[in-house]
């Protein structure tokens, strides 16, 4: 394997190969050195893993700690003022995405029952109704409209608010803070302010649920006295953010991708049975949660390299999902392929808890949108669509769309 590609300084994020494809430098690295050193902006050396096999192996190996993944202070080297990390970050109560077993296991286990395939199947009809109602509202508007604002964000927000028992009417407060929290180029103070805004809101909410539980997931958790208010708040924070920012970006970017691939879109419209496979393929192709962080708790061999104890390791799920060693013709969006094994939901003990819910929301969302808006198209040139390269979850900031005639 060649070692000629220079070590990147900072993570390449510019989408110079097009809005749906990994940055060129990331693709070059995967081909030449799938486990590559990376120099962070502060000069500190870490690693970037881009090959499918290597990413999968890493994610299955709990010697790579997750205690860097989330929390106001945990995105190492990204924000000005961030101290260098020399040991796993302290854990934030309840934020089990940033914990390792057995702490992670204890909290995740309390939630698996609420997110089983069976429980999610029971919600399917209701989620279809939520999507249809939102499309009714969009159809009443005069185009052009912003699809993110009118459809892609409201559907998963309504669903997760209802599941958790978070009043949807409060969304202005939590959405502004959650968007801010996920921004990359903000100061540490701003990040902490967004985190505190959200957790103060949620802490009051779970305290009232503990006093008077209702029929929702946060109330069910609040009935369990083993969980402190801080833990309940952290769990609520994680589920609320993970539950709407991710799916919203998949619906928005997914629609953009389909509109840019008219043949694929026509195939899907002609045969809606293709939708489940198409959703899997869109997940693979777009991988909106791209970069994950891990921390090596000991020296670990991976892909012929030795990752030293104490290193910060970045993983690119998008690069892995575009690895030609795993998927034929990986750059092609092919709604007929089986994208099984795609890593958009991660892998290993932290694999996405909400993946069945997300799949149902995406099937409902895309099915309704394609059926009811047969003439949907972009209202601006594709190159003018603003991409979220400044966020920890990829997508579009807005997607202006239009249609002719009246939507059904
Ligand atoms: C974890 C992606 C939707 C809840 C993850 C991880 C990924 C991911 C990649 C692994 C993170 C890691 O290993 O560090 C996605 C994508 C989604 C989606 C692409 C939509 C298309 C959802 C939804 C929920 C959710 C709807 C609803 C509750 C979670 C939680 C975790 C998680 C709680 C942490 C699991 C753990 O640490 O054990 N997600 N997610 N996600 N996701 Fe999702």
Query: Which residue's CA is minimally distant from atom 1 of ligand 1?
Result: 352
Q: What does the mean pLDDT of the chain come to?
A: 90
CA of 250 relative to ligand 1 center, distance in Å: 13
Query: Which residue's CA is minimally distant from atom 26 of ligand 1?
Result: 243
What domains can be seen in the chain, in order of their start residue?
24-402 (1.10.630.10)
Q: What is the pLDDT of residue 80?
A: 47
CA of 304 relative to ligand 1 center, distance in Å: 29
pLDDT at residue 73 tops 60: no
Would you say the CB of residue 69 lies under 6 angstroms from ligand 1?
yes
Would you say the CB of residue 253 lies under 6 angstroms from ligand 1?
no
pLDDT digits (tens, 9 = 90+) for 251-290: 999 999 999 999 999 999 999 999 999 999 999 999 999 9
How far apart (Å, rounded) are the C-alpha atoms in residues 308 and 302?
A: 11
Query: Which of 345, 360, 393, when mutated, tests ligand 1's pocket best, judged by the most ligand atoms within 8 Å of its CB?
Result: 345
Tokens read off for 275: 């939708």
Ligand 1 atom closest to the Cα of residue 96 is 37
Phi (first) and psi of residue 384, to 5 degrees: -90, -5
How far apart (Å, rounded) are the C-alpha atoms in residues 362 and 343?
A: 17
pLDDT digits (tens, 9 = 90+) for 334-389: 999 989 999 999 999 999 999 999 999 999 999 999 999 999 999 999 999 999 98
Would you say the CB of residue 392 lies under 6 angstroms from ligand 1?
no
240 or 4, higher pLDDT: 240
pLDDT digits (tens, 9 = 90+) for 11-45: 888 899 999 999 999 999 999 999 999 988 777 78
Helix axes 229-260, 188-211, angle to 10 degrees: 120
Percent of the chain with pLDDT over 90: 72
Ligand 1 atom closest to the Cα of residue 69 is 14
334 or 169, higher pLDDT: 334
Ligand 1 atom closest to the Cα of residue 163 is 28
CA of 91 relative to ligand 1 center, distance in Å: 18
| Helix (H) or strand (E) run with residue 49 in it | strand 45-49
Once rounded to an integer, what is the mean pLDDT over residues 173-184? 79
Question: Within 10 Å of residue 352's Cβ, how many Cβ atoms?
Answer: 17
What confidence category does residue 3 fall into, taking pLDDT thresholds of 50, 70 and 90? low
Query: Which residue's CA is minimally distant from atom 4 of ligand 1?
Result: 354
CA of 361 relative to ligand 1 center, distance in Å: 14
Once rounded to an integer, what is the mean pLDDT over residues 179-192? 78
Percent of the chain with pLDDT over 70: 93
Would you say the CB of residue 123 lies under 6 angstroms from ligand 1?
no
CA quadruple 93, 95, 99, 104: dihedral positive or negative? positive
Would you say the CB of residue 66 lies under 6 angstroms from ligand 1?
yes
Q: What is the pLDDT of residue 207?
A: 97
How far apart (Å, rounded) are the C-alpha atoms in residues 285 and 81?
A: 34
Q: What is the pLDDT of residue 149?
A: 94
How far apart (Å, rounded) are the C-alpha atoms in residues 376 and 404?
A: 8
Once rounded to an integer, what is the mean pLDDT over residues 197-218? 94
Q: What is the pLDDT of residue 72?
A: 43
Q: Report the phi/psi class of residue 310: left, alpha or beta, with left for phi > 0 and alpha for psi in -120 to 50.
A: left
Give the C-alpha distances (Å, rounded to integers) separating 59 from 65, 289, 317: 9, 14, 10
pLDDT digits (tens, 9 = 90+) for 385-405: 999 987 778 999 999 999 997
Q: How is 373-386 classified by DSSP, letter by letter?
A: -TT-EESS-GGGSP
Predicted interface score ipTM higher than 0.95: yes
How far apart (Å, rounded) are the C-alpha atoms in residues 26 and 8?
A: 9
């Amino acid at each position: 394997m060649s070692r000629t590609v220079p070590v990147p300084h900072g993570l390449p994020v510019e989408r110079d190969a097009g809005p749906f494809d990994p940055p060129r430098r990331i693709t070059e690295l995967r081909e030449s050195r799938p486990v590559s050193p990376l120099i962070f902006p502060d000069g500190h050396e870490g690693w970037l893993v881009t090959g499918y096999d290597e990413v999968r192996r890493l994610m299955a190996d709990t010697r790579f700690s997750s205690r860097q993944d989330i929390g106001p202070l945990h995105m190492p080297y990204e924000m000005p003022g961030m101290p260098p990390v020399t040991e796993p970050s302290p854990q934030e109560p309840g934020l089990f995405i940033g914990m390792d077993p057995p702490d992670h296991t204890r909290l995740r286990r309390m939630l698996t029952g609420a997110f089983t395939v069976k429980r999610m199947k029971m919600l399917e009809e209701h989620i279809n109704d939520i999507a249809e109602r939102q499309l009714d509202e969009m159809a009443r508007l005069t185009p052009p409209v912003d699809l993110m604002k009118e459809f892609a964000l409201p559907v998963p927000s309504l669903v997760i608010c209802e599941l958790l028992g978070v009043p949807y009417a409060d969304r202005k407060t939590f959405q502004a803070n959650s968007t801010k929290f996920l921004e990359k180029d903000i100061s540490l103070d701003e990040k902490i302010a967004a985190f505190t805004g959200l957790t103060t809101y949620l802490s009051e909410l779970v305290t009232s649920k503990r006093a008077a539980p209702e029929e929702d997931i946060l109330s069910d958790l609040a009935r369990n006295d083993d969980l402190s208010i801080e833990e309940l708040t952290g769990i609520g924070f994680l589920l609320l953010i993970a539950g709407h920012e991710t799916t919203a970006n998949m619906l928005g970017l997914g629609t953009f991708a389909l509109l840019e691939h008219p043949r694929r879109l026509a195939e899907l419209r002609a045969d809606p049975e293709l939708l489940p496979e198409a959703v899997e393929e869109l997940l693979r192709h777009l991988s909106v949660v791209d970069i994950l962080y891990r921390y090596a708790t000991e020296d670990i061999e991976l892909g012929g390299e030795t990752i030293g104890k104490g290193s910060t390791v970045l993983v690119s799920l998008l690069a892995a999902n575009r690895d030609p060693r795993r998927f034929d013709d990986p750059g092609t969006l092919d709604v007929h392929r089986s994208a099984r094994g795609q890593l958009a939901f991660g892998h290993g003990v932290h694999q996405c808890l909400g993946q069945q819910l997300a799949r149902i929301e995406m099937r409902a969302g895309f099915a309704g949108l394609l059926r009811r808006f047969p003439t949907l198209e972009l209202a601006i040139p594709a190159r003018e669509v603003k991409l979220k390269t400044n966020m920890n979850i990829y997508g579009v900031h807005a997607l202006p769309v239009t249609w002719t005639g009246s939507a059904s």
